Chain A
Amino acid sequence: MSSLPFTQVISSASCRLSFRPHRISEFLCSCGVLIAIILSGSGCSDDHTSYDGVRTIEKAVHPILPGATASQRFGTDRPTRPVEPDPSVPTLAYDLPTGWIEAPLTAMRRVNVRIAGSPDAECFLIVIPGGGTLRANIDRWCAQMDQPNLTDEALDNLPKATLLEREGVLFQIDGTFTDNFASKTVPDARMIVYSLPLGDTTLYLKATGPRALLMEQAEALVAFASSIRLEMPQSPPPERTAPKVRWQVPQGWGVDSARPMREVTFIVGDEARCWITVLAGDGGGVLANVNRWLKELSLDPIDEQQLSELPTEMMLDGKAIVVEGSGPYASMGSTPRPGWSMIGLIRNLADQAVFVKMVGPDTELKEARSKLKQLVLSLEVVQ
């Protein structure tokens, strides 16, 4: 049985027709090299002392707690997932003093900042259902500061302080601060706690850190505490809907199919067309547009002085600049059409510009002139 012509080609490609040893060994070597390349392709770098690669990302994906202790890094108080605010629920807001940094929020901490960026000085707000008695909490804080419990008299005379626009109690103590949660000790420390019972819960704003630093940041801390507020999340501004331009089609004109950038295109005559364009702002400027139109007719550009001398027509309750000209009309690289004319009107509104442009053979434009005036007068803005 004879071989097919195209199978011969394939056969020759696969060396069937010439089993020469060097061809076969070449084939096997090629297979071996190919497999070796593929198998080694995803291997690690031979350089055992360098990084495997660099990845550039827009922002860090890990919550960062500068100077976090092992207890904070490995403990059970995990950072919480950043949640998009619910527009119907008020959220806690505050003004962060200069130099202070925000730390990741946790299940307990609704506000969490580092005072002056120091890893040893922190300030956080926690909300505890019930919250325990003031006496029990202050005794616990005294123990944390390695100080004896407060007397009843001192407890009764604790100064008042404002938190969330309500009156609470302010407690301040110096000593050696032991944070069992973070497993760290700060000698010569200060603790300042704002306590505010609120319904069934109690809010605590607690600041701890080196005493010298807290004294230095005392004013900032007061400002920070008084800035904490409940705020409705800012909803995105409603989308602005630009006012629409409305018109009446002059009798005898037809409406052409939709074109990009144009509000409408009218069929004026066999070749003449008229269209309305609305652009945001000033649409690139009156002078630039006028000169662009003149260029389409191979006419010389004008300057500001000449622009101010152009005639005007009433359009959309104001004066629109009228540009007229004749010449070989060519737009967007089209073939120049001699004997054509153009009438254009430009009216700048508060935040948009309206352009009416009619082009076509001279004779058709002369006939359509009165209809163009009707169209211009019929224009109105609908909000």
Chain B
Amino acid sequence: MKSSIWLTILKKIGSQKVATVMMILLLILTYLGTLEQAEHGLYRVQQTYFESWGLVHHFGSDWWFVPSEAFSFSIPLPGGMTCMIIFTINLLVGGILLLKLQKRNFGIFIIHVGIALMMCAGLVKLKASDEGYLQLWESQEASEYISHHSWEVAVFETGNGSVDEHLVLFDRMAGESELSIEPTTGLPFQLKLSGALANCRALPVGPNWTPDSPAIDGWGLLEQEEIAENEQNLPGLTIDMIPTRLEDGSRQQALLWGGQNYPWTFTVANKTFAVALRKIRHSMPFSIRLDNFEKVDHPGISMAKEYRSDVTQTAAASQRKIRIEMNDPLRDQGLILFQSSWGPSNAAPDAELYSVFTVVRNPSDQWPLYSCIVIGIGMAITFIQKFLAYSKKQAKRHKEIS
């Protein structure tokens, strides 16, 4: 009895109806997300529509002859994450677990395994990958790349030589009025982070505006509406430093802003420390030096036809020269460096340019390729089986006619 209940539930979960509903929902999400992207930007739409558990979509009239207040309603929708998880479970149950594996449907089974692998690649990319950019002028060298969207607070002792940066993710401030960070080895003070603003400007406090943060040293943070292009948002917050021991120094307060020129510095126990609010920096296991950047324009206009970078990659014991250009990235030690951009965009014709690489660390980088190979094998098996069955059937039919 119990067995049949489980089987019924499993059949429901793995049914084609569920798969069809999920595919339709994913189609709707893709359509609505694409439309929303124009207004809210790629990053926010990606988070709201494709990487969320659920969302509420607002429909409004875009036609001039229909007043928006007369045609406006909202509907809740499952997010892309929910749909993909249900779709994957549906696939695992219906396409693999419940599939009565036989010679005739072996190709179908292989195809389902390939699709499941593709789903896994997506999940691993979502949860375990990071992405950023590396901007280099000619003869400049770097061994780290900077996140496009995520911010962190870095605390370190100033001085020459190696630096230990203690990091607090800015996202931890979401929904928190204050975040307290206790002292740790080498940092004899407590930090209190408060008043986080997603996008703001640091301005001298004047008579005509009241800052959205405490006014410190004559400056304050003015909150601004978030920009659709998330890369342009500059967060800010207020930081309080409380020495562990009273004799080490006094409590100090400062503003941190994403667009600051210099980190905030303070002295505790005769040591100078710095705090920077910055985009997350990821270390690379090698360094890249830009030797030469070349941009070729279309004839007569300043639009780039192609651009490429000659770089020197230096690892612990080796050095090699590589050319990175569009569709020909550098892949090494789990990182992929794509030639993505250049600048400054308003540079004079003979001015020096910098090269921008998009750096991706994705453990499942090659999985879609493997998935396509598996699906291709499954499809080939299925088509051959179908073709042989059809040939056999036709031969039998001809035999009967003759």
Interface residues of A (CB under 8 A from B): 1-4, 7-8, 10-11, 14-16, 19-21, 24-25, 27, 31, 35, 38-39, 41-42, 44, 48-75, 77-79, 81, 83-84, 104, 183
Contact = CB atoms under 8 A, between A and B. Distances in A.
Closest 7 CB pairs of A and B: A70-B217, A74-B202, A70-B219, A65-B262, A51-B166, A11-B101, A55-B165
Contacts of A104: 262
Given A41-B128, A57-B162, A183-B217, A51 B263 contact: no
Contacts of B263: 62, 64, 73
Given A7-B102, A49-B181, A54-B166, A59 B217 contact: no
20 contacts: A7-B102, A7-B103, A14-B96, A15-B97, A16-B97, A19-B3, A19-B7, A27-B97, A35-B85, A50-B181, A51-B166, A54-B166, A57-B283, A59-B161, A61-B281, A64-B262, A68-B262, A74-B219, A77-B261, A84-B140
B127 A38 contact: yes
A68 B181 contact: no
B330 interface: no
Contact of A67 (B99, B261, B265): B265
B267 to A, nearest CB: 8
A4 B103 contact: yes
Given A44-B169, A74-B219, A64 B265 contact: yes
Interface size class of B (residues with CB under 8 A): 35 or more
Contacts of B335: none
A104 B154 CA distance: 19
Contacts, number: 177
B280 to A, nearest CB: 10
A84 B139 contact: yes
Interface of B: 2-3, 6-7, 10, 85, 89, 92, 96-104, 106, 109, 123-124, 127-128, 137, 139-140, 143-144, 152, 154-156, 158, 160-169, 171-172, 179-182, 184, 202-204, 216-219, 254-255, 257, 259-265, 272, 274, 276, 278, 281, 283
Contacts of B184: 50-51
Contacts of A84: 139-140
B79 to A, nearest CB: 13
Contacts of B7: 19, 24
Contacts of A53: 166-167
Given A44-B171, A71-B204, A79-B262, A62 B274 contact: yes
Contacts of B171: 44
Kindly name the residue among A16, A52, A72, A81 whose own CB sees the greatest number of chain B CB atoms within 10 A.
A52
Given A64-B265, A79-B261, A49 B172 contact: no
Given A4-B106, A16-B100, A70-B255, A55 B265 contact: no
A16 B10 CA distance: 12
A60 B3 CA distance: 63
Given A11-B101, A71-B219, 15 more contacts: A7-B101, A16-B98, A24-B6, A42-B128, A51-B166, A55-B281, A58-B163, A64-B262, A68-B262, A68-B264, A69-B217, A71-B218, A72-B261, A79-B261, A79-B262
B163 A48 contact: no
Given A16-B101, A25-B6, A60-B158, A55 B283 contact: yes
B289 to A, nearest CB: 11
A24 B179 CA distance: 44
A74 B167 contact: no
A57 B165 contact: yes
B306 to A, nearest CB: 26
Contacts of B180: 48-49
B120 to A, nearest CB: 9
Nearest to B156: A60
A63 B262 contact: yes
